[in-house]
Copies of this chain bind each other. A is one copy, B any other.
Amino acid sequence: MRWDGWGDPDRATPLPASVVGLLRELLGVRADPAPPVRLEEMTPPAPNPAVRVLAEVVGPDWVVSDDETRIRHTRGKSTPDLLRIRAGDASAAPDAVVLPADHEQVLAVLERCSRERVAVVPFGGGTSVVGGLTAAGEGFAGVVALDLRRLDRITAHDTVSRTATLQAGLRAPRAEALLAERGFTLGHYPQSYEWATIGGFAATRSSGQASAGYGRFDEMVAGLTVATPRGTLTLGRAPRSAAGPDLRELVLGSEGAFGVITDVTARVRPLPETRRYEGWRFPTFAEGTAAVRALAQDGPLPTVLRLSDETETMIGLARPDEIGEGRGDGCLAVCGYEGHREDVAARRAGAHAVLTAHGGEPLGDAPGESWAAGRFSAPYLRDALLDVGAFAETLETAGFWSVLPRLAESVRQTLSRELPSSLVMCHISHVYRDGASLYFTVVTAQGDDPLGRWRHAKAAVGDAIVEAGGTITHHHGVGTDHRDRLADEIGPLGVDVLRAVKDRLDPAGILNPGVLVPPATG
């Protein structure tokens, strides 16, 4: 993973000159005159030696505090995170990176850190885009990133129940490879897929591009093991239970603030026999939305179902070398089908009838295959845009179907108002019987103060989302960026409930301080 951008440095692709020209002309983008900072020039603050005590828990080799390792564990991958680190700001680097070997060592680290008042930032793939890795270190004797990469095995596979126990530090591609050897799959493909981990998926309620067919990650979780400063939580004795509240659902989305998820028992499925992705065109977003809603409510449900608005369709967001190769007029829907051959054939035929009845025009496999080929590439495109002085960021929400049109329009208008000369694109990324999520991409010029402008715009969009009845986040999570809106989502009393849980599990408050749970006021 690039320390100052996304993914594999060898896959970074600069924008073609023609696109750069368009960005200059349409959005007023000017190349950043500041020369890029090199890793060797970065100087994080001197590490606090207090954290070395953790060597007694995990062994001296597994408490690492060289500059490069610390920088690579600094912040996540939101655009503001990247702009800061590209500008040479390593002030948020942890004092050390601690790499426990197993659940017992995680427990011991948390116990020791509670005693020593060392803040702990659980670290999986490092792909947070909501400030989930930016702990508030004030008042602590130090801050460590707890990197779970050594917990990288499948420890159990129940072929009868179709569950597999995956350690938290397993990266998704490795998890899929190990499962594929056994003929199974999770089917979880978020945009962060190539880097993110099982534990991160659970801690943030990740949702993948094939959620229509495979479900959200939280729906895949049958069981969890969680290390907390007060001991271990082992949850999920049965698929479903009436034994009180479902505590799995309290750990899912807890973003490292209540404990460290060390393994997940996930519901897995047989590898699909076949996959097919297709494109459809709708004259308008409203007509496309009606079609997508019909499939979500009455079926048959494709495995992948997404609908781009007119702007996103026209721009054809894809790999950097394909940007601008738009898909023409109207709104592009991508419908994918995975499974047994007969099942795919039956669902595809049924869905075709519904899509056609709602005014859809079939575009064949090409747009679907193109989407599939570029499905994990958008973050590379963002790096290329940042390189030429553009600012590109995403945000997302979800709402019930009845609020969706106004929600989409309100976010679009707010972004356009707050960021004049910007491109605002939107798609429906995940569908449910009662509603759907909306995913927005905005591209504008960085200008003089990109962080300040974005902070302002993002705040206005947050207001618009809350006012229009959407959730503050559908799958990016809360982190620090959305933390102060949590009361808009669940009320001050709901926030207080989370605080009560945190106080009980993490009395010293060492776990990801400042993330998810807003500090108590007054």
Contact = CB atoms under 8 A, between A and B. Distances in A.
Interface of A: 158, 160-163, 204-207, 216, 218, 222, 228, 230-235, 237-255, 267, 293, 297-299, 340, 343, 346, 397-402, 430, 432-437, 469-478, 482, 486, 489-491, 493-494, 496-501, 503-505, 516
B253 A245 contact: yes
A375 to B, nearest CB: 20
Contact of A228 (B162, B238, B493): B493
A255 B244 contact: yes
A351 to B, nearest CB: 14
A222 B400 CA distance: 10
Closest 6 interchain pairs by CB?
Answer: A249-B249, A238-B471, A500-B504, A161-B400, A239-B435, A205-B242
11 contacts: A161-B435, A162-B433, A231-B493, A233-B494, A234-B491, A239-B400, A239-B433, A240-B435, A244-B254, A245-B253, A499-B504
Contacts of A398: 238-241
Contacts of A499: 504
Contacts of A400: 158, 160-161, 163, 222, 238-239
Nearest to A402: B160
A482 B234 CA distance: 19
Contacts of A469: 237
A493 B432 contact: no
Nearest to A219: B240
B245 A434 contact: no
Contacts of A253: 242-246
A211 to B, nearest CB: 9
Nearest to A255: B244
A473 to B, nearest CB: 5
Contact of A242 (B250, B402, B478): B478
Nearest to A516: B244
B207 A240 contact: yes
Nearest to A257: B244
A251 B343 CA distance: 37
Given A400-B163, A402-B160, A430 B245 contact: no
A251 B245 contact: yes
Contact of A243 (B158, B430, B473, B497): B473
A513 to B, nearest CB: 15
